[in-house]
Structure 1
Amino acid sequence: MPKKGESPRSRDVRQARLHMVRDIADRQGGVVSRDQLRTAGITPDELESHLRGHRWCPVHSQSIAVHTGPWPDAGRLWAAVFEAGDRGCLDGASALIAGGLEHYTEDVIRVSVPRGVLTRHAVGVEIRQTRRLEPDDLAPSGIPRTRPEVAGVRAGLWARSDKQATLLLTMTAQQGLTTADRLGAQVMRVKRDRRRIILTGVIADLVGGVRSLGEHEFARMCRLRRLPEPTRQALRRGPRGQWYLDVCWEPWGVVVEIDGIHHEWAANVVADALRHNAIALDRAVVLRLPLLGLRLAPDEFFAQITAALVARGCPLDVAS
């Protein structure tokens, strides 16, 4: 609605400014920075009018949502970056989520700034200074964030536990955000960190063909029990196409299928059954190991695997 006494030209200019703001917000999850509002020509009085009228609302000290509905995830991420200033970027798991990582959530949005940059406090946002931030580390487009291979390694370094670090690295490669080789190149940049050796081992397994957290843990448990090194992700072909075996000991015809959550999806039931039967027809012993079993009863399952290997003629001293 035009303001009282406002000329048509002034009204057109004001509407053009608002249209510019909405265009920017549409690309940023409905959120704009105060700097962007100033650049678009929005005066402090106009901003205050929108806030008092509950048409807009503040997100943090440096960002405004130009609507009053729920903030989408993209808007929250942009607001976190705005709070860090023009040199801030999403990092670690937050950068992975912004880059497309699925089935993983974080309670706090992580933003990095170069060493020496002033940081602010915002609820739900963690802004940290870091020396590990180079221009080449940034993704070329979209919300300011580190590239997936950089973010994946840093997410592993900053994870709450070794298991969470393993999960984040594996999901990053498994979901195709980057490759294990690129993760490996990034971990070589880490000179001193207590988790460097662990991350190097996880990435080495990913390069070797591990496609899930379950397979990584399985490989580690095999080494602990001095079992022969199995083949991972072995390719098989049949009349209905090709598939990969999770792990197998080909000399003795023993296969272990590690069932993650994806095996419970209805779309996988028929394919899993056909694959299981085709392997059995090939005279292989097929053992199923649910990921939950790997967590809760590893000794019992590995006792069955050892028994199957021995029954097929595998000498226990093969791995020694």
Structure 2
Amino acid sequence: MIRRAAALFPGMGWRELAGAQDGLITRAQLRAHGIDNDAVRHRIATERWVARSATVIGTTTGGLTRAQLMRLGVLHAGAPAIIGDLSAAELSGLRSWHREEITVLVPQGSDVGQPLAGIRFVETRRSLAAMRDPARRLPTCRLEPAILHFAAYQHSPRTAEGVVAAAVQQGLTTPDRLAAWIPRMRPLRWARMFRETLSEIADGAQSVAELDVLHLCHAFGLATPRRQTMRHGTDGRARYTDCEWSLPDGRTLILEVDGAFHMEVAHWEADLARQRALAAPDRIQIRCTSRELRDSPDRIARDLRLLGVPRAV
């Protein structure tokens, strides 16, 4: 730990080192700078410092910020621990997948001592050095392995697919970059599913709901739809439809998938206005919920067949 700190922060005194570490410093780092345990105890007793863990001292008082909580996790665990999973993805800008608890990846068999509030230490046999993002001063997992590592340990395949799709949809990475990490993380639970999901995303699927529609079509032998088709409504605005099929009679069937947020009045009214704007004599518009896609795909497949969606060729 001391050698690592010296390499990262050459020539720094303990004050500068603590400042570079969000106001935190380890007891080992303090000893390396000539601050012994008696001096540490005195500063804690006089309420100038705070013992944040058995090994980490806070040089500021008050509650920890989120950045400090992340720093505390990796300092307490020591090298080569890194911020991982959704906590690392959060630092890369992933939205709508926030988890309050910080995840820190540590080598298999690590002894991190007593639990720390707000921090979850996850053991792994994978090379943390290989997964670490060299562009960040805070030891952090690269986005792609962070997403795949989190996804692989979910109980629900839909959640696993959803976070992979979200990372691509939000422009944080690409299907190719995620796919390149799958063999590097072998063995990886659901690797085959991830490859298939990424192939579908690369082919145009934008969300987990669209992936659910594709799974439905494959399972019930229906033609796959066009996704995210741009259409101009009666008000002249460009809009993108979720899924479309060309029917044998020349008309177009549009399926829009509503998530939970569509139940809010403002979203519901906006969706009604959108549906009116896209209405045309040669278009049939229907809607379903993401819950229906998940729980009753057979009923939706039956309705699609009755409306004329052709079978897969």
Q: TM-score band, normalised by the shorter chain? A: 0.7 to 0.9
**Does residue 120 of the first structure (1) align with residue 112 of the second (2)?**
yes
Question: Alpha-carbon deviation of 1:224?
Answer: 0.7
SS in 2 for 1:214: helix
**Which residue matches 2:3?**
none
Distance 1:273 1:89, change over 3 A: same
Per the alignment, residue 5 of structure 2 pairs with: none
Q: 2:19 aligns with which of 10, 19, 23?
A: 23
Residues 56, 187 of structure 1: CA spacing in aligned structure 2 closer, same or farther, 3 A cutoff? same
Residue 157 of structure 2 is aligned to residue 162 of structure 1 = yes
Partner of 2:147: 152
Matched, 1:103 2:103: no
Gaps of 5+ in 1: 1-16
Partner of 1:304: 303
For 1:169-204, what per-residue CA distance to the aligned partner results, in whole angstroms no more than 9, with x for missing partners? 122222332222211121243443341111112212
Q: Does 1:178 align with 2:177?
A: no
Within a 5 Å distance, the mapping from 1:100-249 to structure 2 comes to 100-106=93-99, 109-113=102-106, 118-123=110-115, 124-135=119-130, 137-238=132-233, 240-249=236-245
TM-score by length of 1: 0.78
> Identity over the aligned pairs, expressed in percent?
26
State the TM-score, normalized to the length of structure 2. 0.79
* Letter paired with 1:98: L
* C-alpha distance 229-31 of structure 1, shift in aligned 2 (>3 A): same
SS of corresponding position for 1:49 = helix
Q: One-letter code of the match for 1:257?
A: E
Contact persistence 1:287–1:305 (CA under 8 A): no
Q: Structure 2 CA distance, aligned partners of 1:274 and 1:39?
A: 66
CA distance in 1, matches of 2:272, 2:30: 58
Following TM superposition, the consecutive aligned residue runs of length 4 or more in structure 1 with deviations greater than 6 angstroms are none
Deviates more, 1:89-98 or 1:237-246: 237-246
Relative to structure 1, the CA distance from residue 218 to residue 132 in structure 2 (aligned partners, 3 Å threshold; closer, same or farther) is: farther
**Cα offset, 1:298, TM superposition:** 3.2
Deviation of the 1:206 alpha carbon: 1.7
Match among 28, 34, 38 for residue 27 of structure 2? 34
Cα distance 1:190–1:63, how it changes in 2: closer, same or farther (>3 A)? same
Aligned to 2:42: 49
SS at match of 2:103: strand
CA distance in 2, matches of 1:44, 1:72: 26
The residue that corresponds to 1:9 in the other structure is none
Question: Cα RMSD over matched residues?
Answer: 3.2
DSSP-derived class of the 2:279 partner: helix
Quote the offset at 1:164 in angstroms: 2.8
Given that 1:33 and 1:79 are in contact with CA atoms closer than 8 Å, whether structure 2 keeps it comes out as no
Cα distance in structure 2, aligned partners of 1:263 and 1:186: 35
| Mapped contact 1:119–1:127 kept (Cα < 8 A) | no
In structure 2, C-alpha distance between the alignment counterparts of 1:298 and 1:244, rounded to whole Å: 23
Which stretch shifts more, 269-278 or 192-201? 269-278
| 1:92 and 2:85 are equivalent in the alignment | yes
1:24 and 1:266 map into 2 onto residues whose CA distance is 47
Kept in 2: contact 1:94–1:109 (CA 8 A): yes
CA displacement at 1:81 relative to structure 2 = 0.9
Inter-partner Cα distance in structure 1 for 2:44 and 2:128:
36
Match of 2:187, SS state, is: coil
Work out whether residues 77 and 98 of structure 1, in 8 Å CA contact, stay in contact via their aligned partners in 2: no
Aligned AA (1:201) = E
Cross-structure match for 1:77: 70
Deviations 1:16-37 (A, max 9, x none): x786466335xx3x54433454
- Return the alpha-carbon distance in structure 2 between the equivalents of residues 129 and 291 of structure 1: 34
What's the counterpart of residue 259 of structure 1? 258
